[in-house]
């Protein structure tokens, strides 16, 4: 599975962005998809996931503000980010894994290249 993330940019506090992650290769629908982020000097952290079977899961820090969705027909997963805060500034990565309930980076085998989100105060 090859992943290509896009949609990052500069936005003011309170604004919105939608990230996209296009997957190539087979069996997209059989993979759980996750979004992670990494701020400068910090470890990569889990943001949201869409498990195979339709369930979604969010980090507490983004719950109620971010929404993950997927379109299996287009092999694409999205991350709608609303009410953005300066602390959301990071490089955002999409990732794919087999199985469900995976929230740690080492549990994901496939990674996109990252897209930078900058939230100005």
Residue 84 DSSP SS3: coil
pLDDT at 111: 97
Report the DSSP pairing between strands 9-12 and 45-50: unpaired
**Phi and psi for 16 in degrees, rounded to 5?**
-135, 150
Identify the sign of the CA torsion 107, 26, 68, 51: negative
pLDDT at 5: 97
CA atoms within 13 A on the CB side of 48: 21
pLDDT at 90: 98
Low-confidence stretches of the chain (pLDDT < 70) are none
């Amino acid at each position: 599975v090859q992943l290509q993330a896009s949609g990052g940019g500069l936005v003011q506090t309170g604004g919105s962005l939608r990230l996209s992650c296009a997957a190539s290769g087979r069996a997209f629908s059989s993979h759980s998809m996750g979004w992670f982020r990494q701020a400068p000097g910090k470890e990569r952290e889990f943001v949201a996931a869409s498990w195979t079977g339709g369930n979604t899961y969010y980090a507490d820090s983004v719950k109620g503000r971010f929404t993950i969705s997927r379109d299996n027909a287009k092999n694409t997963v999205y991350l709608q980010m609303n009410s953005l805060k300066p602390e959301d500034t990071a490089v955002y990565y999409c990732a794919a894994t087999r199985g469900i309930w995976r929230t740690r980076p080492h549990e994901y085998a496939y990674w996109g290249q990252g897209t930078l989100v900058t939230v100005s105060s």
